[in-house]
Structure 1
Amino acid sequence: MLYAVLCYNDEKAVSTWTEEEDAACMARLGKVQDELRHDGRLGPVVRLQNTTEAKTLRKANGEHVVFDGPFAETKEQFLGFYVADVDTIEEAVNFAKKLAVANPGLGSYEIRPLRVYLPSALLGDAAIAEPAE
């Protein structure tokens, strides 16, 4: 089963890291990722650029309205995600716990089962995944 592990943190705090602090965090996260990657069970790992680079498109009365940044007033921002191919949600939660230890500061991880509608190279010719019950 595929699970998305969505990463949230205080973007302002993360943006203040030096290159060395950022590289050290990414190295710690890389060690956590190694087991799933080695087994071929880690899909895309994506880090989003700052929200100042983002746009939000909203539909309103049949019209499209584009806003600068994400459309959320919150301290924590969605910073990136992992796609992990694990057997149970408990395994996905354990992976997120290890990521949380490797990543300094506050923040949170949201774990969501995925339903794949357009298979990618990660899945090859595999059948479309069914959602978790």
Structure 2
Amino acid sequence: MLYSILIYGSESAVAAWDPGVLDEMLERHADLRDDLQAQGRLGTVLRLMPGTATTVRRPRDAHPLVTDGPFAETKEQLMGIYIVDCDTLAQAHDAARRLDFEGATFEIRPITWYDPGTIAARIPQV
């Protein structure tokens, strides 16, 4: 079954990390991606831009409300998404555990439909 692992955290806390802490966290993410890729169980992985680059759209009558800012009424921001193929929910939880960092919240949710699309993998320069 496919699962999404949604990664929530405080962008300001992550931005304040010492470079070594960030490097260690990114290394653990790379290790998990390498392991899942080797097993043919890795889907799309996204690291989202900061909330300051976000707009929010809410439907309102004929004129939807669109606002600037990271505000979906939460204290944490959605920072990234993994799509993983796991035999059990326990395996998906184990994958999320390997991504742990201080202050993070991981939402593991089964996926009912997945279309990887045709966009080639890339890391844009920001």
Pairwise same-fold verdict (TM > 0.5): yes
Judged with a 3 Å threshold, the aligned counterparts in structure 2 of structure 1 residues 58 and 95 are, in CA distance, closer, same or farther, namely same
Deviations 1:35-80 (A, max 9, x none): 2111111111111111000001111012122111233333211111
Secondary structure of the 1:36 match is helix
- Alignment of 1:79 onto 2:83: no
Secondary structure of the 2:43 match is strand
Q: Between Structure 1 and Structure 2, how many residues are aligned?
A: 118
Deviations 1:57-104 (A, max 9, x none): 11101212211123333321111110001111111011111211xx3x
Instruction: Determine the structure 1 residue equivalent to 2:53.
Output: 53
Instruction: Determine the structure 2 residue equivalent to 1:27.
Output: 27
**2: distance between equivalents of 1:21 and 1:99?**
13
Q: 1:107 aligns with which of 104, 109, 115?
A: 104
- Alignment of 1:116 onto 2:113: yes
**1: distance between equivalents of 2:117 and 2:77?**
28
Aligned residues of 2:10 and 2:104 also touching (Cα < 8 A): yes
Structure 1 residue 20: Cα displacement: 4.7
Secondary structure of the 2:99 match is helix
Q: Which runs of 5+ in 1 are unaligned?
A: 123-133
TM-score by length of 1: 0.78
Amino acid at match of 2:40: G
**2: distance between equivalents of 1:58 and 1:121?**
26
Secondary structure of the 1:63 match is coil
Q: Which runs of 5+ in 2 are unaligned?
A: 119-126
Amino acid at match of 1:120: P
**1: distance between equivalents of 2:95 and 2:87?**
12
**2: distance between equivalents of 1:70 and 1:7?**
15
Secondary structure of the 2:13 match is helix
Secondary structure of the 1:60 match is coil
